Structure 1
Amino acid sequence: MPREIADGRLRKGAFRRRALLDATLRLVGRSGVAAVTQRAVATEAELPPSAVLYYFASIDELLVTALREVNDRCIEDVGAVATLDDLAGLLAGYSAQDRLRTVAEYDLYLLAARRPDLRDELERWDRALEELARRLRPDRAELLAAAVNGRYLRAATSGLDHATAVRTLAGL
């Protein structure tokens, strides 16, 4: 939770909502989007099944909220990158995080790719990445943006540290 919530009921609600979103990411990482059911999320979060639909109108809303939160964080991370070394560090951090979380994040992006109503999330990511690439390598921006997307996929599929590869790619 980004800020302290004084009201105990609100704090409990925020904690439960966060637990449901985290449980969703763990399920998606292990078994894919199709594994996200009301019962599975509640069990993973150690909450009653009714909590899922209390905090989210549907399983779809839960998945879309998870996608938007992942996208918000990734866009914020990319926006903070000022140098190629920062970019290498960021991608190394993604590679170092729990690989199943990276898989879950990528799977949510694939969900957005399949759904026209979620295209704006993909476009937000692409704009942020293109802006970053233009800042770092205006002469090779398109190539750098594509390479970063590719390295992110590799972080999801192999979990390898890609810091050296990013430095090499930046010199394209």
Structure 2
Amino acid sequence: MPLPAPKVLFVLTALLTGATAPALAQDTGGIAQGLNERVLFVTSGGFWEEAVAPQGDAGGEASGQADSTTETAPTTTRRGYYRLVAIRGEDNRSLVELQQIELTPGGPQLALSTGLEEINALGAYVTDIRPEDSTGTARQPGLSAFIYLKTDPTMAEPETWALFVDEFGDIVVERSSN
């Protein structure tokens, strides 16, 4: 199934950014200059974590022998934070992506990126993105953020949409009722 053009553009942008990441990590002053012009808003917050079972020795399992390190090896945990990105699409409307950024010994790395179809299907213009909590201290796993958008550029006030990611990684996007 072919990807729509905006998603292909986003994937290519992510790949090109990833290819230059080691060079940019050495030159932090160049990061802002290397940012794609189509990026409208970026905010990060919340956190996620998941247990990762240690990988067993494939050779030992194939021969029917139990791998003693698999039985005694502790489970490791992957951790990271969420990033919400609004990008100007080819038609000048906004596309919103939710990303999981993994914290690794080599620095932050993109673990997962998914489009928010509830927002992207509106063909709207994102005017702002804000996390629910700007203290930088998340007490529970997940993310809550608000996305402000206009489906018509002549609208006086933007619509407010809420994004909720719970501790299991389930995503809910809904129009705010306040």
Per the TM superposition, whether the score is higher than 0.5 is no
Question: Which of the pair is proportionally richer in helix?
Answer: 1
Q: Quick check: which has more Rg, 1 or 2?
A: 2
**Please, what TM-score do these two structures have when normalized by structure 2?**
0.25
Question: Which of the pair is proportionally richer in strand?
Answer: 2
